[in-house]
Amino acid sequence: MRNSLSAKLSPKRLLPVAAAVCALLVLAGCGSNGMSNLSGTNPSTAATSNASSPSAPASGTTAPTVPSTPSTPSTPSTPTTPGIGASSPLPTPPANATVFSNIDESTDNWDDCSDCAGGTVTTDYWTAANQTTPSMDGASREFYVGGPAWADVLWYKRFGPLNSASHFLWDFYVYFDTASAANTWSAEYDVFQSINGQEFMMGSECVFGENIWHVWDSLHGQWVDIPVPCPRVVPNTWHHIQWYMDRPSSTTYHYDTLVVDGTAYTVDRTFTANPIDWEDVIGVQWQLDVDGNGNPLHEWIDKATFTVW
């Protein structure tokens, strides 16, 4: 659970026992493939990264704010029929929407960091594009973090400023091998936008270790439970995540709908932006959080599309 670029502190650091990384629900499979590189060795096609400070959207970040301990998960909300269109919970983007397709296959404007992610800092991590196994379209992206206990790593992709965008439809697939599905504490999936010194950190995380989804309260720097369960996923299977969010005003952002493997949940939570010393930018990010045993983790993403208007 983490921090993303705004240095949010992970709630797990406050938990006394299993101590406290957007993903999913009893996630029924969307199809499975073999696994690649289950050891910590970076594949030959990987673009190796290290733990040096990334080129952040702008210099300067706000000081971390320790979030309160997560509350007891509430009763799951009633799922609705998923899809895109007038009769579904996901809107149909207008013809003039900006679409970023196959984000996982791109190699530019990717950055990463561990010291920004809110947990134990590690140098044992990397990401690799164009992985053929597993993949849905022949080219997935793999994330790896090797520990130690409670280590966190954030990978983020920037698209530059798009200040007119106020609607965000994020669609991608994730895949965990057997060991990672059993040991990932949490997986984080965030959309971020900075406009005129205001940060809209539309963060979310599936906390497998607590069977609950969280969303990020940017102003108060804390995770907030939503009534959506997140049990450990079926391994060696692709799982589909879809988020629709919007920015209803110049100072607020709204979590509309989360869809996991075809089950849609109405989230309907609004939060206020926080001031930040960033350049104007928009982007998406993924994060992995290691559990208290320090087991290495792999996550693959594929068919990642970000649509804004």
pLDDT at 106: 95
- Give me the number of domains the chain comprises: 1
**Does residue 306 carry a pLDDT above 90?**
yes
**Does residue 23 carry a pLDDT above 50?**
no
pLDDT at 84: 52
Q: What is the largest CA-CA distance in the chain?
A: 50
Segment 262-280 shows an average pLDDT of 96
Q: Is residue 239 domain-resident?
A: yes
**Dihedral sign computed on CA atoms, order 244, 249, 253, 256:** negative
Weakest-pLDDT range from 57-71, 116-130, 184-198: 57-71
Q: Is residue 147 domain-resident?
A: yes
pLDDT, tens only, 154-164: 999 999 999 99
Closest listed residue to residue 246, CA positions, set 268, 265, 227, 261: 268
pLDDT band at 89 (very low <50, low <70, confident <90, very high): confident
pLDDT at 166: 98
**Does residue 178 carry a pLDDT above 60?**
yes
Share of the chain above pLDDT 70, in %: 72
**Does residue 146 carry a pLDDT above 60?**
yes
Which two tokens mark 120?
């134990």
Q: Is residue 299 domain-resident?
A: yes
Which two tokens mark 273?
């932006």
Q: Is residue 246 domain-resident?
A: yes
Which two tokens mark 80?
């609705």
Segment 49-53 shows an average pLDDT of 32
Average confidence score pLDDT of the chain = 80
- Whether cis (ω within 30° of 0) applies to the bond prior to 148 is yes
Q: To the nearest 10°, the Cα dihedral for 275, 280, 286, 291?
A: -30
Strand partners, 290: none
Share of the chain above pLDDT 90, in %: 71
Segment 269-280 shows an average pLDDT of 96
Secondary structure of 12-47 in HEC code, one letter for each residue: HHHCCCCCCCCCCCCCCCCCCCCCCCCCCCCCCCCE
Closest listed residue to residue 99, CA positions, set 194, 22, 168: 168
Q: Is residue 201 domain-resident?
A: yes
Structural contact between residues 14 and 66, judged by C-beta atoms closer than 8 angstroms: yes
CATH number for the domain spanning 131: value is 2.60.120
pLDDT, tens only, 200-232: 999 999 999 999 999 999 999 999 999 999 999
pLDDT band at 88 (very low <50, low <70, confident <90, very high): low
Domain that includes residue 15, residue range:
4-34+47-53+77-308
**Does residue 43 carry a pLDDT above 70?**
no
Q: Is residue 186 domain-resident?
A: yes
**Does residue 97 carry a pLDDT above 60?**
yes
Higher pLDDT, 20 or 172: 172
**Does residue 268 carry a pLDDT above 70?**
yes
Q: Is residue 72 domain-resident?
A: no
Q: Is residue 70 domain-resident?
A: no
197: Cα separation from own chain's centroid: 23
Structural contact between residues 144 and 40, judged by C-beta atoms closer than 8 angstroms: yes
Pairwise CA distance, residues 197 & 254, whole Å: 19
Segment 181-205 shows an average pLDDT of 98
**DSSP output for the chain:** ---GGGTPPPGGGG-SSS------SS---S--------SSPPPTT-B---SSPP--SSS--PPP-PPPPPPPPPPPPPPB---BSTTSSBPPPPTT-EEE--GGG--SSEEEESTTSSSB--S-EEEEEEE-SS-SSS-EEEEEE--STTBEEEEEEEEE--TT--EEEEEEEEE--HHHHHH--EEEEEEEEEETTEEEEEEEEEETTTTEEEEEETTTTEEEEES---PPPPSSSEEEEEEEEE--SSSEEEEEEEEETTEEEEEEEEEE-EE----SEEEEEEEEE--TT---EEEEEEEEEEEE-
Structural contact between residues 47 and 127, judged by C-beta atoms closer than 8 angstroms: yes
